[in-house]
């Protein structure tokens, strides 16, 4: 049973690292800032979920698992908000954004 737990934890961590690497390629592939931010934000949120879930499986049930779960909750709340604020700042400060990206205003 211990081997299954270790394999599952390592598989989740490797999957999280794969998501991070894929998001990094997205940063180089896309041309515009908002597209890059979108790739980075999605990769960051999903990657941290898989890595921390893998760590939760490896440490087992206890106080450390609770702490890692709280870190997941905090990062899943904070990361999208920070990405949104950065995108809004880019939209406000960059004068020619409508010529480079499709922007839908409310």
Euclidean distance between CA atoms 27 and 68, whole angstroms:
27
Q: Which long-range contacts (CB under 8 A, 24 or more apart) does 82-86 make?
A: 83/37, 83/38, 83/40, 83/41, 86/37
If 0-12 CB within 10 Å is exposed, 13-18 middle and 19+ buried, where does residue 1 land?
A: exposed
* pLDDT tens sequence across 1-47: 889 999 999 999 999 999 999 999 888 888 877 888 888 888 888 99
- Compute CA 39 distance to the chain's CA centroid, rounded to the nearest angstrom: 9
pLDDT band at 96 (very low <50, low <70, confident <90, very high): confident
pTM over 0.85: no
């Amino acid at each position: 049973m211990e081997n299954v737990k270790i394999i599952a934890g390592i598989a989740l961590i490797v999957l999280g690292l794969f998501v991070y690497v894929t998001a990094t390629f997205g940063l180089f592939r896309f041309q515009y800032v908002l597209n890059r931010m979108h790739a980075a934000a999605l990769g960051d949120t999903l990657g941290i979920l898989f890595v921390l879930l893998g760590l939760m499986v490896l440490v087992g049930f206890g106080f450390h698992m609770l702490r890692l779960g709280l870190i997941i909750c905090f990062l899943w709340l904070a990361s999208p908000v920070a990405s949104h604020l950065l995108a809004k700042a880019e939209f406000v400060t960059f004068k020619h954004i409508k010529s480079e990206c499709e922007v839908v205003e409310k």
